[in-house]
Amino acid sequence: MSGRVITVAQQKGGAGKTTLAVNLAVAVLQSGRSVALLDTDPQGSLGRWFMARRERLGEAGVEFSTSSAWGVSYECEKLKKHYDVVIIDTPPKVDSDLRPALREADVILVPISASLVDLWATEGVLDLARREGKRPKIILNRIKRGTRLDAEVRAAAEQLEGEFVDAPLAHRVVYAETMGQGLGVLEAVRKGPAAAELDALMAALAV
């Protein structure tokens, strides 16, 4: 068995990397496959979500591991042997420490929130990925649909050197609420706009 590795990366904090990683993990789990989370971000938000999940459910249902940047390859090698999908959450920075997580990835996801500053920050991630011979997938996250800024960011994101994934996630309270509960959105609301967004994203990513 050799699982697929998904790395979530973005230089700017606040783009929703951990929220995206968590909800992808839950979506994979609900599809009947096994999933492991690998946290390389010293902030530890993913670990806090995992502990909240264990406290709430008793059994998390997902594997959780941490690693330094340079231990990513070793951890991925181990986890891929036992899990269908391995999702790596990375720190909000772009330097040589990020390269192992990009190198190991079968899919690189770069979330961009509704901010031109996020767009500027994305260039560093795309450059590192290009050096590793990878073409990241760009996802709009925490957007306010129908606004002029949303349209501007979308138009600019489509021009970036990556694959633009037209399956955005809106800025919704339910994403923050479920994170604090140790859940994914699909475990709290199986129907509704947020669930539909995640279903569309999973279909677009073909994960």
pLDDT for position 35: 98
Q: Checking DSSP bridges between strand 107-112 and strand 137-140, what pairing results, if any?
A: parallel
User: What CA–CA distances, in Å, run from 35 to 3, 83, 91, 94, 97?
Assistant: 9, 5, 20, 26, 24
C-beta of residue 105 within 8 angstroms of C-beta of residue 76: no
pLDDT in tens, 67-93: 988 899 999 999 999 999 999 999 888
Residue 5's identity, in one-letter code, is: V
d(CA 7, CA 195): 22
Q: What angle is formed at CA 37 by the lines to CA 13 and CA 35, rounded to 5 degrees?
A: 135
pLDDT of residue 71: 92
115 confidence band (pLDDT: 50, 70, 90): confident
Q: State the sign of the Cα–Cα–Cα–Cα dihedral 23, 24, 26, 31.
A: positive
**Angle, CA of 106, 112 and 117, to the nearest 5°:** 135
pLDDT of residue 147: 81
**Domain ranges for the chain:** 4-205
* pLDDT for the residue numbered 92: 87
Q: What are phi and psi of 154, to 5 degrees?
A: -60, -50
> What residue ranges in the chain does DSSP mark as E strands?
4-8, 35-39, 63-66, 85-89, 107-112, 137-140, 163-165
Q: pTM here?
A: 0.94
CATH of domain 4-205: 3.40.50.300
Task: Provide the pLDDT for residue 1.
Answer: 64
Residue with tokens 């999940």: 53
Average pLDDT over the chain reads: 92
Can you read off the two tokens belonging to residue 195? 């669930």
